[in-house]
Amino acid sequence: MQEKKIKFTDVLFVGLAFFASYFGAGNLIFPPMLGLQSGSNWLSGMIGMLASGVGLPILAIIVLGMCGSVQKISDHVNKKFYTVMIGAIMILCCCVSIPRTAAVGIEMGLQGIWPGAPYLIFVILYFVIAFLFAKDRGTALDKVGKILTPIMTIILFILVVKGAVSPIGTPGAASVDNAFVNSFLGGYSTGDVLVSFLAAGVFFDSIKRKGYEGEAFRKAHVRACLIAAVCLAIVYGGLLYMGACVSTEYTPDSISNANLLLSIIRSSGGQIAIYGLCLSVVLACLTTAISQITAVADFYETATHGKLSYKVLVMIVPIVTTIVASFGLDTIVSLTSPWFSFFYPITLVMTILGIFEKKIPNDGAFKGAVYFTVIYAVLDLPHEYGFGFLDPVLNHIPLYGLGFGWIVPAIVGFIVGLIAWKGKGRTET
C-alpha cells in the first residue's frame, strides 16, 4: 500500500489546533510576569520557560504518538490504570479547567471590552458556541484549526511582533537569582503535559481521519507538533520579552499578572491593541474549551463501551460546566486545583517511560516508577492544600523544594520494580 503524501494544509490546521488546545488564557498571562522577574536576564528566562512550557508538552504528545496511545504505556503498569487515571483527570476538567475558561474568557476578555456584559448570560452563550463546534467529533479540531485559531494566532503575532520590534522600555535588573530556573519552574507549573494526555486520542484521531496511517501518520503527527511548538515559542517568547522591557517600571509585587499584560499591551498599541487582546483571550479560552469537551466526551464514550454516546456526552459536558461556571468558581478551583499537581508528576514519569518503552525489559520497572510516584503525589497532596504536617519528611527528598520531588521516588521505584520483576517479562503493546 502506497504511503499517502502529506499535505501541508492538513498538517498546518492540525498543528494550529494543537497550539490552540495548549494555549489557554492562563498561558497568555504568565510569560510577561516571568519576563518581568527575569529583567535583563530575559534570554536565560526565555530558554527556561520554553524548555518546560513548550518542550515538555510537545515531547509528551510526540512520545504518545510514537507509542500509539496513552493506554499502550499505562498497560505496562496495570490494565485498569489508564481508565482510572484519565477518567479522574477528565472529571477535574469538567469541574475546574473547562469552567475556568469561561470565567476567564468572559471576565478578562469580553468584560474587558464591555464591562457591563451580563456574566451568566454569556456563560450560557459561551458553552452553546463550544457545543456547536464540538458536536461533530470528526471535524471539531478541524473547525478550531481552520476558523478560530488562525484569527487568534494572527492577532497574537501582531501584538507580539509589535512589542518585540518596538519595545516600550529597556530591561532592568532581574528580581530573581536564577532567571532560567525561575522561568523553567514557571512553565513547568502550567501543567500542559496533562493536556497532551487528555487530548492525545482526539489529536491522533483528527490526523487519522485525514487518511494518514503508519509512517505517514507519524510524519504528519511530528510536523503538526512542530508547528504547534513554533507558535507557542513565538507567543511565549515575545510576551516574556515584553514583560522584561517594563522591569524598570514595575516590580513583581506591585502588579498582578492580568494587569501587567493589559498595561504592556495598552502601552504598546493603545486601545485598539486592548480590543485585540480581549478578543484573543476569548478565542484562547474557547478553543481550549472545545478541545477539552471533545476529549472528555470521546474518552467516556470509549470507557462506557458506547453506552453513553459521543453525541449525548458532548451535550452533557457543556451543561455540567455551565452549572459549575455559574457558581463560585474560586471556591471550586481552590478545592480541586491541587489535584492537577497530583497528576502532573505521574504524567511526566509516564512520558519518560514512553521514550524508552521499547528498551525497558519488564513491566516491573513501569509499575515501580509509576506507583512510587503515586505514593509521593499522595503524600504531597496535603501540602498542596496548605497543610504542611508532612513537610518535615518531604523536605528530606532531594529536589522537593524546587518542585521536582517526584524524580528520586520514580528512579528508586524503577530500580526496585526492575529487580523484583526480573524474568517475568512485559506486556506486549
pLDDT at site 256: 81
pLDDT classification of 101: cutoffs 50, 70, 90? confident
Residues 191, 168: Cα–Cα separation, whole Å: 31
| Amino acid code (one letter) for 125 | L
Span 75-82, mean pLDDT? 92
| Amino acid code (one letter) for 276 | G
pLDDT at site 428: 67
Maximum average pLDDT range among 8-22, 96-110, 264-278, 368-382 = 368-382
Span 187-196, mean pLDDT? 82
CB 177 within 8 A of CB 45: no
Nearest alpha-carbon partner for 189 in 82, 57, 292, 63: 57
Q: Is residue 313 predicted with pLDDT exceeding 90?
A: yes
Residue 368 sits at the vertex; the CA angle it makes with 367 and 373, to the nearest 5 degrees, is 100
Q: Is residue 2 predicted with pLDDT exceeding 70?
A: no
Residues 6, 30: Cα–Cα separation, whole Å: 35
How many CB atoms neighbour CB 143 within 10 A?
A: 18
Maximum average pLDDT range among 31-45, 192-206, 254-268 = 31-45
Grid coordinates representing 190? 502550567
Domain layout of the chain by residue ranges: 8-326, 339-429
pLDDT classification of 194: cutoffs 50, 70, 90? confident
pLDDT at site 329: 62
User: Taking all residues of the chain, what is their mean pLDDT, rounded to a whole number?
Assistant: 88
CB 280 within 8 A of CB 154: no
CB 94 within 8 A of CB 324: yes
pLDDT classification of 410: cutoffs 50, 70, 90? very high
pLDDT classification of 59: cutoffs 50, 70, 90? very high
Q: Is residue 208 predicted with pLDDT exceeding 80?
A: yes
CB-based burial of residue 332 (10 Å sphere; 0-12 exposed, 13-18 middle, 19+ buried)?
Answer: middle
Q: Is residue 48 predicted with pLDDT exceeding 90?
A: yes
CB 237 within 8 A of CB 27: no
Maximum average pLDDT range among 133-147, 254-268, 324-338, 381-395 = 381-395
Q: Is residue 218 predicted with pLDDT exceeding 60?
A: yes
Span 172-194, mean pLDDT? 87
The reported pTM is 0.86
pLDDT at site 301: 93
Long-range CB pairs of 317-322, under 8 A, 24+ apart, other chains included: 317/94, 317/98, 317/293, 318/127, 318/128, 318/130, 318/131, 318/134, 318/293, 319/127, 320/94, 321/94, 321/98, 321/99, 321/102, 321/127, 321/289, 321/293, 322/99, 322/102, 322/123, 322/124, 322/127
Span 70-91, mean pLDDT? 91
pLDDT classification of 105: cutoffs 50, 70, 90? confident
Grid coordinates representing 206? 483528527
Q: Is residue 1 predicted with pLDDT exceeding 60?
A: no
Superfamily (CATH H level) for 8-326: Amino acid/polyamine transporter I (1.20.1740.10)
DSSP-H helix ranges across 70-114: 70-74, 81-92, 98-104, 111-113
Q: Is residue 328 predicted with pLDDT exceeding 70?
A: no
Provide the percentage of residues in the chain whose pLDDT is more than 70.
Answer: 97
